[in-house]
Amino acid sequence: MVLSNAGLSGVRIDVYNDTPDSLAGELVLVATNFLGQANGGGQTRCFHTGPFFVYVLRFVSVRERFRDLSNSFRIR
């Protein structure tokens, strides 16, 4: 799994399946502050990928409200 800054699109999450088998799992996302303390409740997303497949999602699509986690808009 790779988390990256997608600029104005928020945080991009790529889950890579490099195996010949299907992959199923549950992704739990918890935003934290600079001290590592949870900043709001976690969000859960179940996923399923085929063999040699990349599952891509944006953090803003998992949350029910917008949060500027990548600091693109400089919102405090």
Per-residue pLDDT of 28-74, as tens digits, reads 888 777 777 787 667 788 888 899 999 888 765 445 566 666 666 76
- Over residues 9-22, the mean pLDDT reads 89
Q: How far apart are CA 63 and CA 47, in angstroms?
A: 16
Place of tokens 């195996």: 19
Q: What is the 3-state secondary structure (H, E, C) of 25-55?
A: EEEEECCECCCCCECCCCEEEEEEECCCEEE
